[in-house]
Amino acid sequence: QVQLVESGGGLVQAGGSLRLSCTASGRIFSTYTMGWFRQAPGQEREFVAATTWRGSNIYYADSVKGRFSISRDNAKNTVYLEMNSLKPEDTAVYYCAITEVIGRPVRTEEFRYWGQGTQVTVSS
């Protein structure tokens, strides 16, 4: 069993930055992949970014490439999502999730464990 807790959401003006954190507890293997997803009101949950626990495989959705950066601190069992040049369309609840699926998982159904989500609101 794995537990995930996100933090760091909030209200920011367009062009601003936020850093989200996700701390994991429980049995975590080095082959796991940690992902960030987001869900805006009335929309489906979508993939944002992911990293393997070792950091050997990092990938992003096209919509956030060049603006968002995912990183991890294995000693703290924490993964971060640094979000820069935020736009109003980035407004959503952001979730972290973890999967044992090997490769480049991006679908919600591929991720087994989820956090409770943290709200990010970008004002124009």
- Which H or E run contains 123? strand 118-123
For residue 121, which of 4, 24, 5, 20 has the smallest C-alpha distance? Answer: 20
In tens, the pLDDT along 6-24 reads 999 999 999 999 999 999 9
In this structure, which amino acid lies at residue 80?
Answer: Y
24-76 pLDDT, tens digit per residue, is 999 888 889 999 999 999 999 999 999 998 888 999 999 999 999 999 998 89
Radius of gyration for the alpha carbons in the chain, expressed in angstroms and rounded? 13
Mean pLDDT of all residues in 97-119: 95
pLDDT at 1 over 90: no
DSSP 24-71: EEE---TT-EEEEEEE-TTS--EEEEEEETTSS-EEE-TTTTTTEEEE
Number of residues assigned to the chain:
124
